[in-house]
Copies of this chain bind each other. A is one copy, B any other.
Amino acid sequence: MAKNFKYNRLDKNNAAVLLVDHQSGLTNLVKDFSPDDFKNNVLALADSAKYFNLPTILTTSFEDGPNGPLVPEIKAMFPDAPYIARPGQINAWDNDDFVQAVKATGKKQLLIAGIVTEVCVAFPALSALEEGFEVFVVTDASGTFNQTTRDAAWSRMEAAGAQLMSWFGVACELHRDWRNDVEGLATIFSNYLPAYRCLIQSYEAMLEAHKART
């Protein structure tokens, strides 16, 4: 079965991030995550992209209308990123500026997240796969109307060869080795994994307590 499997790991020198339609209005359509979880996951992905200096491309659909503006926190994180406000194309890949921006990065591994999963994520994912890119869907930074729709969307992308990941898996696969920067990775974990933050807090409290005693 696994005969010819080739593990093309995420490589920070060969990966770009596409954030598709994380807009304020659309975000409130997302019901397959709690709002806290979803906000956390999206910012975690964005912050990881920044941390690893991955070229990041922002795109929106009709941000002057009901869909609302790009979530300002994301905009603020990537002031110099290509930002394509699509005039109408639903599939971001149908927008030449977007595709050019993607290709201009020279990267072959695309991390895609967006709202909603079965459209704004799936359509460009399938288009990119067709053009030979490796596609990694960041599932927990992508949201949609309900679980049924999500399951169907995952199935379609998976069948086409996309790999389903989480922002945490992405960060770990990019980082490879804690020794590349222990503090940097730990900061991301601490900021976006409250349970891991607690582990760190307990650990540090104990360190201090023992320093105090000795």
Which residues of A pack against B, CB within 8 Å? 1-3, 5-7, 9, 24-25, 27-29, 31-40, 61-69, 71-72, 87-91, 94, 116, 118-119, 122-123, 126-127, 129-130, 132-135, 139-140, 145-146, 148-149, 151-156, 158-166, 168-169, 172-173, 175-180, 182, 193-203, 205-207, 209-210, 214
Contact = CB atoms under 8 A, between A and B. Distances in A.
Contacts of A199: 24-25, 28-29, 66-68, 202
Could you tell me the dominant secondary structure of chain A's interface residues?
Answer: helix
27 contacts: A1-B161, A2-B132, A2-B134, A2-B160, A2-B161, A5-B130, A5-B161, A7-B160, A24-B205, A27-B194, A28-B198, A29-B193, A31-B35, A36-B39, A37-B37, A63-B205, A88-B177, A90-B176, A90-B177, A91-B176, A118-B168, A118-B169, A123-B172, A139-B149, A140-B152, A156-B163, A206-B210
Contacts of A152: 139-140, 154, 164-166, 169
A195 B1 contact: no
B195 A35 contact: yes
Most buried by B among A69, A123, A164, A177: A164
A24 B90 contact: no
Kindly list the 5 A-B residue pairs having the minimum CB-CB distance in the complex, ordered from nearest.
A2-B161, A88-B179, A68-B202, A66-B199, A69-B205
